[in-house]
Amino acid sequence: MSMTVMRPAQGCCCHFNNAINNCFNLRYRRTLKTPSLAAEFPFVAVASPPTRLSLSLRRRPLTVASSSAATMSSSPSYDKELAAAKKAVSLASRLCQKVQKALLQSDVQSKSDKSPVTVADYGSQAVVSLVLQRELPADPFSLVAEEDSGDLRDDSAQDIRARITELVNDTLSTDESSSSTLSVEQVLKAIDCGVSEGGATGRHWVLDPIDGTKGFVRGDQYAIALGLLDGGKVVLGALACPNLPLTSIAGANQQPSSGEVGCIFFAKLGSGTYMQPLEGGPAVEVHVTATENPEEASFFESYEAAHSLRGLTGSIAEKLGVKAPPVRIDSQAKYGALSRGDGAIYMRFPHKGYREKIWDHAAGCIVVTEAGGLVTDAAGKDLDFSKGRFLDLDTGIISTNAKLMPLLLKAVKESLKEGESCSSSM
Ligand code: AMP
Ligand code: MG
């Protein structure tokens, strides 16, 4: 089945983007190897949790998070919300893993923006929506999420609706608290809960049901990313990365991983970031790298060349003195890898006119900041999640530790200035 949905164009600034990128490519013609991550991160189901995680991490018992929150009697603990979020993304991961394993051509649709949308996107969104509502029945429910059921209600989408409903029911039946079988209409309604506009007041869940759909379809990295906004701030995040190795992917461009995969990162405001095997097992607190030396740093960027100006990121890396080639992976798995110190920097400079959505950064942002990192726009301002479904940004998003941030901001500023003067002289 193939469906085409017309969406408004994001703006047409190709000339500017090409000029700025060509300019950097002329100045900085370094051959950067594009990794074949399909080979490096094959889809492998995790059979049993690891007995020990080979990360050099300072451990802090999970109870510390609750007890420290208990001392701030007036502020909410978000404990039950975090438990619900972890359960929701874990169950949604099961659905996605099942679909990715048996990805059929008929599961792939196409949007006008050419990104493939799979039954797993819709199924994942339905599962998260249903689990959150079931686990938190007393709370008002507002969900800002990527998908809606518009295309699925088309007459030609009967088979796909049925397949999604079957997947959702199968997935929920693996959870002991699940009871009745849901109808197609109930599943579509659960998907449509995601229409919320978010904003600066109240609580809003923010979901990307499959972040990195292109990676998902390729068999590479993707994430199920769920955050909670309270008063316009991200207060918790649960980030499931079903294909991310449990051990470091530093230098993954050169060294294929043969270890176990499937991680969930989770964070609550003021309580640190933890990583756990998706299939269960001990949670360990994670921290961003402490490196102060850019020469030792490596940086993450999108696997998709169209998602970030590589000429610009290459120029910034060169100014910083970064020696290692970029590590290119899909989705917010980059934020997860950054939070445990697999690399030191994440840079994202979309083409001019692209508007970042809050669900592409909410969970990843708190996972990194609670692990000791910073996430800002290209001018060094914190990301503002209070403005609705989009982030109002200056140029791009950068993330690193507090020691490297001033150097990174300086390199960004210089490179952007060079780009401007180069494009105005062309
Ligand atoms: P990543 O793999 O980090 O590039 O992130 C994947 C996300 O990028 C998707 O979920 C999309 O929401 C988003 N995306 C889609 N098109 C673009 C674009 N042209 N520039 C930047 N991000 C995009
Ligand atoms: Mg996304």
What pLDDT digit, counting tens, does each position of 321-342 carry? 999 999 999 999 999 999 999 9
With tokens 């047409």, the residue in question is 12
Handedness of CA 306, 92, 255, 334 (dihedral sign): positive
Name the more confident of 78 and 43: 78
Pairing of the two strands 299-301 and 233-245: unpaired
Question: Which residue has the CA at smallest separation from atom 7 of ligand 1?
Answer: 212
Task: State yes or no: is 400 an active-site residue.
Answer: no
Catalytic residue among 107, 118, 121, 400: 121
What pLDDT digit, counting tens, does each position of 85-129 carry? 999 999 999 999 998 887 745 445 544 333 346 799 999 999 999
pLDDT at 420: 82
Task: State yes or no: is 213 an active-site residue.
Answer: yes
d(CA 24, CA 314): 8
CA of 204 to the centre of ligand 1 (A): 22
Residue type, 186: Q
Catalytic residue among 213, 273, 289, 313: 213
d(CA 204, CA 189): 17
| Atom in ligand 1 nearest the alpha carbon of residue 329 | 2
Contact assessment for residue 366 and residue 227, using Cβ atoms and an 8 Å cutoff: yes
With a pLDDT cut of 90, the percent of the chain lying above it is 68
Angle among Cα 365, 368, 369 to the nearest 5 degrees reads 85
pLDDT at 65 over 90: no
pLDDT at 89: 98
Question: Which residue has the CA at smallest separation from atom 22 of ligand 1?
Answer: 307
d(CA 22, CA 26): 6
Record the tokens describing residue 110, joined without a space: 């196409």
Mean pLDDT of 8-31: 36
